[in-house]
Amino acid sequence: MVRRVAFAVPGDLATPTGGYAYDRRMIAELERLGWQIDVVGLGDGFPRPSDAQRVTALAALMNIPAGRAVVIDGLALGVLPDAAQQVAVDRPLIALVHHPLAFESGLSPAQADAMRASERTALAPARRVIVTSPATARVLAAEFGVAESRIVVALPGNDPMPPAKANDGGTIRLLAIGSIVPRKGFDVLIAALATLTDLPWHLTIAGDRTRNSKAAAQLDADIARLNLASRVTVLGAVPDERIAELYADADLFTLASRYEGYGMAFSEALARGIPVIATTAGAIPETVPADAGLLVPPDDIAAFAAALRHAISDPDERHCMAAAAREAALKLPTWQASAKLFSDALEAAQ
């Protein structure tokens, strides 16, 4: 018997973000497990589609044969409550939630409330809701009305990676990987680093600059205003091969995120034995063990700066955190194990 499922994604599946990377790898692993995957494009504009884009997405979903299970990525599902209800009438619906859309930074209270109500309605008919962290599972159960029995946690997997190169002297190489959007807290990171110009460091930022033009412009302006142009390199989106090179050369990984549903970049840093300087937002504390980095409250520039100063200034502490990161990496799930959980969820939803 052929096991077949439609996997509906908004935009371009090749987009270089953690969410799309999860989708791509999970599709590949499910195919290795014997699933036939029909990738269904929902069009652009998400999570703020126009009326025309909503019509296009609904048409693509309703073109999926009745009876076939449908996985819909949460970047689109949360703003398609009516489509979710229609699809679920005669197709098993599986929601894939990377993080609740209402938790995106930069929304007004009214926008966040509207997004929360929309996503709550969209999740209601799903037979299974797959999430990428226990933190997101708890949020959906507590705030979005999703019964725990319908939630499946399938963490992003990890591949064995060579350790990053040790740097015992000279300039400390900081690395931040993430789309340039308000939720990633680049404004906090740059403000914190501006107070550390007495220390030897250089920051490289790699991430999509096209998702939020205002955030990208603010990042550039902050770097210029704080006279950090010679100490901060902003690459934009780069291919996987370049990302691997950046990790290999990094001494510290850092992001001042305001929320993370999981944060694949953090686990990828751990897999290479790179200490993490980040925040306590969302699922980060579940991903980064206390001895593998330093975590401070989100939006606290002074605390973030203090954590960076400590890590940059103390090579012995960096070595200890690097060893703990490598130890933590051994406990991370493989993609194959995570795909088995995803596959079981698909089977249960039939």
* 10-residue stretch averages of pLDDT, the chain, 350 residues long: 91 91 97 97 95 96 97 97 97 97 93 96 98 97 97 94 81 96 97 98 96 95 98 94 95 97 94 97 95 98 98 94 94 95 96
Instruction: Please choose, from the candidates 85, 76, 73, 71, the residue with its C-alpha nearest in 3D space to the C-alpha of residue 54.
Output: 76
Q: Do 192 and 138 reside in the same domain of the chain?
A: no
Instruction: Please choose, from the candidates 270, 277, 219, 279, the residue with its C-alpha nearest in 3D space to the C-alpha of residue 247.
Output: 270
Q: How many domains does the chain have?
A: 2
| H or E stretch covering 26 | helix 18-32
Q: What is the pLDDT of residue 168?
A: 65
Residue 214 burial (10 A CB sphere; 0-12, 13-18, 19+): exposed
Domain that holds residue 300: 172-329
Q: Do 17 and 82 reside in the same domain of the chain?
A: yes
189 within a domain of the structure (yes/no): yes
Cis peptide preceding 156, ω within 30 of 0: no
Alpha helices, DSSP H only, in 44-203?
Answer: 51-62, 74-77, 81-87, 109-123, 134-143, 186-193
Q: Do 242 and 314 reside in the same domain of the chain?
A: yes
Distance CA 216, CA 213 (A): 5
CB 200 within 8 A of CB 174: no
Q: Do 190 and 130 reside in the same domain of the chain?
A: no
Residue 48 burial (10 A CB sphere; 0-12, 13-18, 19+): exposed
164 within a domain of the structure (yes/no): no
CATH of the domain at 94: 3.40.50.2000
Sheet of strand 3-9: strand arrangement = 35-41, 3-9, 69-73, 93-97, 128-131, 151-153
Instruction: Provide the b/e sequence for 264-291 (b: ≥16 CB within 10 Å).
Output: bbbbbbbbbbbbbbbbebbbbbbbbbee
Q: Do 29 and 92 reside in the same domain of the chain?
A: yes
**Rounded to whole angstroms, what are the CA distances from 67 to 88, 91, 93, 320?**
9, 5, 10, 53
Position 70: which residue type? Answer: V
163 within a domain of the structure (yes/no): no
Dig out the tokens for 127 from the structure. 């037979």
Residue 318 burial (10 A CB sphere; 0-12, 13-18, 19+): buried
Residue 38 burial (10 A CB sphere; 0-12, 13-18, 19+): middle
209 within a domain of the structure (yes/no): yes
CB 274 within 8 A of CB 293: no
Q: Do 195 and 128 reside in the same domain of the chain?
A: no
Dig out the tokens for 188 from the structure. 């906090």
Distance CA 193, CA 309 (A): 9
Q: Do 132 and 251 reside in the same domain of the chain?
A: no
Instruction: Provide the b/e sequence for 154-188 (b: ≥16 CB within 10 Å).
Output: bbbbbeebeebeeeeeeebbbbbbbbbbbbbbbbb
Q: Is the dihedral of CA 122, 124, 130, 132 positive or negative?
A: positive
Q: Do 86 and 67 reside in the same domain of the chain?
A: yes
Q: Do 320 and 199 reside in the same domain of the chain?
A: yes
Position 170: which residue type? Answer: G
| H or E stretch covering 255 | none
162 within a domain of the structure (yes/no): no
167 within a domain of the structure (yes/no): no
Q: What is the pLDDT of residue 23?
A: 97
Distance CA 317, CA 228 (A): 26
